[in-house]
Amino acid sequence: MINVIRTKDYEEASDKAFEVMKEYLKPGKVLGLATGSTPLGLYARMVKDHQENGTSYKEIRSFNLDEYVGLPISHPESYYAFMHHNLFDHIDIPEENTHVPSGLGEDLEGQARHYDEMIDACPVDIQLLGIGSDGHIAFNEPGTPFDSGTHVTDLAESTIKDNCRFFDNDITKVPTQAVTQGIGTIMKAKAILLIATGSNKAKAVKEMLEGPVDVSCPASILQRHENVTVIIDEDAAALLG
């Protein structure tokens, strides 16, 4: 079941997302976290809440969705660095409680299987998601099987273009592969919170909510999950019937 919350703009979407997330900021909870521009407003609210209200993350664990292949964690655009810079360094979550898939190593597929085993042993209570302009969730591009586990994938051309802005607008600097939680991994989360804002997400949002459940729009599988909240602003909702 998808519960759709419509907001005016990005700031209001971030406020609503924080309201949903707040219920999970409790000892023992397992958060599934995401990168990209979309969750920045939510993360800023989580940091503010930690600083002002003392909400503690000492007994919270987290699993991130994905990481670029080949970027060292010290690279400012690695998702490891993103998470530290935008959230982990500003809250009291112990480093050992946080997990970001590694995009480095000799046996990326073996590491990916291990990542799924860790998630199976520690099921995610709420998974935060953005959506790509091509309907991807994490780096599960169109065509990815719905039952996929964590795996190495090639990025779609449109994703490389979308992410160019983080790499000096130089397309040759954008990694072409990533390690990503699979759609099957994501669907195991007990609850899912997807945020989509801006007109470049409108087509993907329409396909996710009103289209058939089909691998051509990876996010459409969320129609089959029992507990999904989708928060969209006016621009992202523009094409809905």
Residue number with the shortest CB distance to ligand PGA?
36
| Contact between residue 100 and residue 172 where contact means Cβ atoms under 8 Å apart | no
Q: Which residue out of 50, 99, 125, 134 is catalytically annotated? A: 134
Enter the tokens of residue 73: 């964690």
CA distance 193 to 36: 15
Is 66 an annotated catalytic residue? yes
* Residue 182 lies near ligand PGA (rule: CB under 6 A): no
Selected binder of ligand PGA within 101, 132, 135, 184 (CB under 6 A): 132
Q: Is 27 exposed, middle or buried (0-12, 13-18, 19+ CB in 10 A)?
A: exposed
Instruction: Residue 33: name the closest of 4, 60, 70 by CA.
Output: 60
Minimum Å gap between C-beta 100 and ligand PGA is 15
Nearer to ligand PGA, 97 or 234 (CB): 234
Q: Which residue out of 50, 136, 207, 235 is catalytically annotated? A: 136
Number of helices (H) and strands (E) in the chain: give both, helices first: 7, 10
* Residue 38 lies near ligand PGA (rule: CB under 6 A): yes
Selected binder of ligand PGA within 101, 130, 135, 149 (CB under 6 A): 130
Is 136 an annotated catalytic residue? yes
Is 154 an annotated catalytic residue? no
Selected binder of ligand PGA within 100, 119, 131, 202 (CB under 6 A): 131
CA distance 37 to 161: 15
* Residue 135 lies near ligand PGA (rule: CB under 6 A): no
Is 59 an annotated catalytic residue? no
Segment contacting ligand PGA by CB under 6 A, of 41-49, 77-85, 125-133, 211-219: 125-133
Instruction: Residue 208: name the closest of 187, 182, 230 by CA.
Output: 230
Q: Which amino acid is at 18?
A: F
Would you report the helix, strand and coil content of the chain in percent, each value rounded to 5?
Answer: 40, 20, 45
CA distance 141 to 155: 7
| Contact between residue 192 and residue 1 where contact means Cβ atoms under 8 Å apart | no
Q: Which residue out of 67, 125, 141, 235 is catalytically annotated? A: 141
Site for ligand PGA (CB under 6 A): how many residues?
6
Catalytic residue positions, numbered: 66, 134, 136, 141
* Residues near ligand PGA (CB under 6 A): 36-38, 130-132
